[in-house]
Amino acid sequence: MPDVIMPRFGSNSGQPTTRRDGIAKVTGTATFAADNQPDRMLHAVYAPATIARGRVTALDTEAALAHPGVVAVYTPWNRPPLAGDPDAKPFMFAFRFEALQSDEVRYSNQPVAFVVAESLEAATEGARLLKPQYEAQPARVGLDGNEPFKPKGDAPFGLPRDFEHGDVAAGHAAADQALDATYETAENYHNAMESHCLVAEWKDGKLELDIPTQAVVLTRGAYAYYFGIAPGDITIRSPYLGGGFGSKAIANGPQILAIMAARELGRPVKLMFRRDQMFGPTGHRGATRQRIRIGIDGDARMTVLDHESLATTSSFDDFIEPAAYASQGLYNAGALRSAFEAVRVDTGTPGPVRAPGEASGSAALESAMDEMAEKAGIDPLDFRLRNYAETEPGTGKPYSSKALRECYAEGAKRFGWEGRPLEPRRMQDADGKLVGWGMGTALFGAPMFAAEARATLLPDGTGLIETAAADMGQGAWTALAQIGAYALGLPLDRVEFRSGHSDLPDGGVAGGSGHTATAGGALHAAGGDAVAKLAGIASADPDSPLFGTGNTGVVARDGWLVAEEDDSRRDSFADIIARNGGAAVVGTGKAARPPEDAARHAMYSHGAVFAEVKVDPELFQVRVTRMVGAFAAGRIINPRLAESQLMGGMIWGISFALHEEALFDKRTGRIVNGDFAGYHIPVNADVTGLEVLTVHEDDPYVNPIGVKGVGEIGISGSVGAIANAIWHATGTRVRRFPIRIEDLLAGA
């Protein structure tokens, strides 16, 4: 990489720019995937299973087909063949799904038939008229619904491996004081505001898809496999996403059926999940039961941190919420152990849900840390500082950067942590509400994936930057455009950013909190390449004031190349191009983390979350009245958007701690609260006094642009902080999430 582009961000990058698409979104002119309405489009609705386990024995297809407007009904008995097997797992991110390959019902709400009609209403009624008959078997739900097993740990995704460092038995034996506590977390279902949807159209054997996806180019491979065509024959348009959170990189059965129906019927087909259908085939966070044992010596230093996790997975595939991973990489325990078990239940296969593992694991770990601090009789923050890891526990690797100490200090100061009484039930407000303060540490990895980008300097002196990235609503396209514009030495308003289309260079996967680092890294490299090429042209141009400077002695700034040594030697992009044939200058770039970098350093974002709750002393209704989160996540490209994402994560923490839970009827295995009236998430009145601080962090190792990620870490730490604050207010330890009024009543 030419060193014209230094990883020093000044001009537009680092600025709190508002979303470039903000006005379009608030005025309703932004077109989402399902807004596309090609001519002759049909509507599809899938009929969900209303039992959790068994077989479909009959479907009244005659009644459905007789309903006016119904065009086709697909069932397990007439479904046309697919090229790929829905029960195969031929590639990464492939999960088994139900596309009517058999009459088997594996969980409630899986598709048992697929109805296509001229209108959404007709398709919906057609699906209702099918009145499926079943041969049902007893459903297995809950953590005790089936025999636990040990995951094999031989696949990269969703199969966590046990981890052990140091002498765990000796660590237990050496403890002066010990905690042994078990925590449970509930099933949480993906519920992005925009439910899963697509519009599929076949043209001359090629597939066009309007679909929100977190991996615009990569997901072509999945559709290519199931339909026996080349990825190059698939065009994906993924405009704005109304949230993804890990659920929109993975193919599901109804979507495959919609594409199939479009092929069979020779007409475009649109499918959009109803809210109740989100409680089935689109992934969820499995429930967990976590046993945490901590031992400490006389100075409250951890001799052992031993974290066992049992998680639910489906009866037919594996995604095991890797909760016990949360105990790796954070505290400096003498010995560390993470161990995993799973139990098969009759639900859809769980999947990655914002902070998979970290959210549920941190909820338990940070609660346990609080309980241990209580036993030791020391302040919970002091306890964490005594066990601060200067190098990564277990591996001994240095951190690429770790400003956690500063997060603790700045967060505590802003919150006013000092003077917090150690004992619970010591604080009340003027209204008599119990007041409690709690805290938790936040931790999330800083991964990078692979991405490519193109940056073009146009003859008129403006820029075009391109990469097929995904904006899930958090403003990724704004932050990425800031990086690309900076790399080109242009102000943001003179750069066009094209994204979200599979014809563009692969922007990688928007997941793992690594999208800005990855797609941004590629844009950064591409911009640098374009500028270096332009500098080469200028340097070889006798008419340029920069003649002879070489391509390393100039910087790009505001549409000009400027000699680094002499500001008066400058040439505008447009002039250089005009004098040299008038052709646009195209740069390309890639980003990926070299394996040796990953081997050398441990890379994480860190944070500290402080929460205040108020609890009614008799009615036990809880309100989170204040939260302060201080996070260190490398370079912050856009403070406004980063803080907004961190805030969103903390609100998810409130949701996890107090609200979200899919309630299963244990007899039928069906979810009884599969809508937003019953499946609670916080409302505005639940979110008050939320504050985010970002702590400065220079990270020369994590990647050339020094970016970590902010997408998921906000949840981590927040859940435990709230639970700990509830204990501090009431004196009741609730070891099950979400914490409910009846749990606190029971402790009264």
Partner 1 sequence: MNLFDYIRPASLDEALSAWEPGAAWLGGGTNLVDLMKTGAMAPGKVIDVTRLPGLDGIESLPDGSTRIGALVRNSTLAHDPDFAADFPMVAEAILSGASGQLRNAATVGGNLVQRTRCAYFQDPWSPCNRRDPGTGCAAIGGETHNHAVIGWSDRCIATNPSDFAVPLAALDAVVEVAGPSGQREIAMAAFHHLPGDTPETETALAPGELIVAIRLPAGARAFRANSRYLKVRERTSFAFALASCAASLRIEDGTIAEARFALGAVAAKPWRVAEAEAMLTAQPPGAALFSQAAERALQDAAPSGENAWKIDLARRTATRALALAAAGTPARMPALPASTFGEPAHA
* Position 457, amino acid: L
| Least spacing, CB of residue 631 vs partner 1, in Å | 19
- Closest separation in Å from C-beta 243 to partner 1: 19
In the set 104, 423, 712, 742, the catalytic residue is 712
Among 658, 692, 722, 725, binds partner 1 (CB under 8 A): 658
Piece of the chain touching partner 1 by CB under 8 A; list 30-38, 206-214, 618-626, 715-723? 618-626
* 137 belongs to the binding site for partner 1 (CB under 8 A): no
How do strand 70-74 and strand 42-48 relate by DSSP bridges? unpaired
* C-beta closer to partner 1: residue 153 or 689: 689
User: Does 689 participate in binding partner 1 (rule CB under 8 A)?
Assistant: yes
Residue whose CB is less far from partner 1, 66 or 83 = 66
* Closest distance to partner 1 from the beta carbon of 188 (Å): 15
Using an 8 Å Cβ cutoff, are 171 and 142 in contact?
no
Q: Which two tokens stand for residue 674?
A: 């599969």
Q: Which of residues 141 and 207 has its CB atom nearest to partner 1 in the complex? A: 141
Cβ pair 492, 558 in contact under 8 A: no
Interface with partner 1 includes 55 (CB under 8 A)? no
Task: Choose the stretch contacting partner 1; rule: CB under 8 A; options: 84-92, 264-272, 283-291, 679-687.
Answer: 679-687
What phi, psi does 659 have (nearest 5°)? -125, -55
Closest CA to 466 of 499, 502, 509, 503: 499
DSSP character for 77? T
Place of tokens 């937003």: 676
Q: How far is CA 333 from CA 161, 175, 370, 384, in A?
A: 19, 11, 15, 11
Q: Name 303's bridge partners.
A: none
Give the torsion through C-alpha atoms of 313, 317, 318, 321, to 10 deg. -40
Dist CA 233 CA 230 (whole Å): 5
- Determine which residue in the list 667, 696, 698, 700 makes contact with partner 1, applying CB under 8 A: 667
626 touches partner 1 by CB under 8 A: yes
Q: Is 126 left (phi over 0), alpha (psi -120 to 50) or beta?
A: alpha
> C-beta of 248: minimal distance to partner 1 in Å?
25
Which of 473, 522, 608, 510 has its CA nearest to residue 217?
510
Binding marks (x or -) toward partner 1, 718..747, rule CB under 8 A? ----------------------xxx--xx-
User: Does residue 26 interact with partner 1 by CB under 8 A?
Assistant: no
Whole-angstrom distance, CA of residue 18 vs CA of residue 707: 19
- By the rule CB under 8 A, 133 interacts with partner 1: no
Q: Is 619 a binder of partner 1 (CB under 8 A)? A: yes
Our finding on whether 621 is near partner 1 (CB under 8 A) is yes
How many residues make contact with partner 1 (CB under 8 A)? 43
Query: Is there binding between residue 1 and partner 1 (CB under 8 A)?
Result: no
Q: Is 283 left (phi over 0), alpha (psi -120 to 50) or beta?
A: left
Stretch that binds partner 1, among 163-171, 232-240, 354-362, 617-625 (CB under 8 A): 617-625
Cα–Cα–Cα angle for 190, 307, 712, rounded to 5 degrees: 35
Task: Give, for 201, the enclosing helix (H) or strand (E).
Answer: strand 197-203
List 659, 708, 728, 735, residue binding partner 1 (CB under 8 A): 659
Q: Minimum CB separation from partner 1 for residue 349, in Å?
A: 23
**Shortest distance (Å) from residue 663 CB to partner 1:** 5
Ranges within 264-283 binding partner 1 (CB under 8 A): 276
Rounded to whole angstroms, the Cα distance separating 704 from 708 reads 11
**Using CB under 8 A, which of 20, 413, 680, 736 touches partner 1?**
680
Nearer to partner 1, 390 or 742 (CB): 742
CB nearer partner 1, residue 154 or residue 618? 618
- Verify binding: residue 663, partner 1, rule CB under 8 A: yes
Active site residue 187: no
Selected binder of partner 1 within 623, 640, 736, 747 (CB under 8 A): 623
Task: Show the tokens assigned to 202.
Answer: 């076949």
Nearer to partner 1, 341 or 686 (CB): 686
609 beta partners:
440, 629
Give kind and range of the element (H or E) at residue 70: strand 70-74
> Looking only at residues 376 through 435 of this chain, which bind partner 1 when binding is defined by CB under 8 A?
431, 433
Query: What is the Cα Rg of the chain in Å?
Result: 27
Among 21, 146, 686, 701, binds partner 1 (CB under 8 A): 686
Residue 425 CB: number of other CB atoms within 10 A?
A: 17
Q: Which amino acid is at 244?
A: G
CA distances 472 to 151, 200, 207, 271, 649, Å, are 32, 21, 23, 19, 14
What is d(CA 635, CA 693) in angstroms, rounded to the nearest whole number?
A: 13
Query: To the nearest whole angstrom, how small is the minimum distance from the Cβ of residue 6 to partner 1?
Result: 39
Among 16, 22, 68, 232, binds partner 1 (CB under 8 A): 68
Q: Which residues bind partner 1 (CB under 8 A)?
A: 50, 68, 121, 124-125, 128, 276, 431, 433, 614, 616, 618-619, 621, 623, 625-626, 658-659, 663-667, 670, 672-673, 677-678, 680, 682-686, 688-689, 691, 740-742, 745-746
Catalytic residues: 712
